[in-house]
Amino acid sequence: MSGVYARRFARRLSVLTATAALTVTGLLATAPTAQAAMPTPVSAATARTYLASLTVKAEGSSTGYSRDLFPHWITQSGACNTREVVLKRDGANVVTDSSCAAVSGSWFSPYDGATWYAASDIDIDHMVPLSEAWKSGANSWTTAKRQSFANDLTRPQLIAVTDNVNQAKGDQDPAEWLPSVTSYRCTYVRAWVHTKYYWGLSVDSAEKSALQSVLNGC
């Protein structure tokens, strides 16, 4: 096990041990959680309407793609960048230092139902991944537009989730990956369609079919 993963494992083990101890002594009946507070996506009915209007085409090439073409995390206000704003927004009892870094708090990840107590265990997921956006039309955008997309706090495009779950998702679309918490899938695909519609991105046929399947059950 590498040093980085060993430290992460030790940190998570210490959190779990401390939580268990508090529960046993009656100081903590249930682990506190925070409900991720990304902007509410459109309703399932509206998402179905949006989906029907999206351009359906084969996914484009990743040739030329680089995360650097989607500048993030940009300064939002004062010393706070986009990541720090989402950590504060999506967490509970978040305390930040003078540089806006989260030094304490808790974060509930709706993708897997886990609660974390260290910001280092949290990734900010781009609902529609940057690489997916590139292959769906963003390759023709200006860098300024890609920056706006990568830091979009107005649409349901950014959400705090467990880091390794976000990494497992990678750049996969809903035909390839959905949250393991099935009760969250309706919200997830509504947010996906909302984001793709607003930004004028295309969908491939398998992606559209997967989105329709979930939305039909919402």
d(CA 42, CA 190): 6
Confidence class of residue 37 from pLDDT cuts 50, 70 and 90? confident
Separation of alpha carbons 115 and 109, rounded Å = 6
pLDDT of residue 120: 97
| b/e sequence 88-112, b meaning 16+ C-beta within 10 Å | bbbbeebebeeebebeebbbbbbbb
| Per-residue model confidence (pLDDT) at position 25 | 29
At residue 217, the pLDDT reads 96
pLDDT computed for residue 10 by the predictor:
45
Q: Lowest mean pLDDT: which of 1-10, 59-68, 89-98, 131-140?
A: 1-10
Domain ranges of the chain: 1-31, 32-216
Give the pLDDT confidence score for residue 15 in this predicted structure: 40
Stretch 90-105: mean pLDDT, rounded? 97
Q: Does residue 116 have a pLDDT over 50?
A: yes
Model pTM?
Answer: 0.84
- Reported as type and span, the H/E element at residue 170 is none
> Of the given ranges (18-32, 42-56, 84-98, 200-214), which has the lowest mean pLDDT?
18-32
Average pLDDT over residues 111-132: 98
- The two three-digit tokens of residue 39, written as one number: 């902007």
For residue 54, the tally of other CB atoms under 10 A from its CB is 18
Q: pLDDT value at position 34?
A: 41
Mean pLDDT over residues 140-145, rounded? 98
* Mean pLDDT of the chain, nearest integer: 88
- How buried is 60 (Cβ within 10 angstroms: 0-12 exposed, 13-18 middle, 19+ buried)? middle
Q: How confident is residue 30, by pLDDT bands cut at 50, 70 and 90? A: very low
Question: Average of pLDDT values for 128-157?
Answer: 98
